[in-house]
Structure 1
């Protein structure tokens, strides 16, 4: 069964940049999906510490594919590692 995430806008409830431990924990809480303006305000590009920009390579494969040539990609990681956040960001870039 998929986890249910709360639908709140973190950036409406947090002062950013975070200045105390409570605000840092709230901004990094994996219980919340980063969507909309939260995605733009809170997403960090961590490709340099994750071993390269795999999301950019996914984007290049998708953009370079021919019409009707559906791409199959595997994106794995532990819970809360940012897989959904990266895919939401990629979807926005592709639109």
Structure 2
């Protein structure tokens, strides 16, 4: 509840103070926090492993995107439990959050 109150207070302050002031400050703060997190991860983690893993995973994702998009396991009924367990409501909920 406390986090919600703080986030709502920041949003209200940002909206009421206008685009040139409140939203600008909020955007710049967000940018600084994101860059700080990026630098922290790159400097405190095994950077070479992260870069290689990112490029490998991105390549695997892009090369299998089309085949995985149309995979519905029609002829493999043992895999359909996941598809039937997730309703359209869950799909829409996850898509809206992503």
Give TM-score, length-normalised by structure 1: 0.25
Greater relative contact order (Cα 8 A, min sep 6): structure 1 or 2? 1
The structure that has the greater radius of gyration is 2
What is the TM-score with the length of structure 2 in the denominator?
A: 0.24
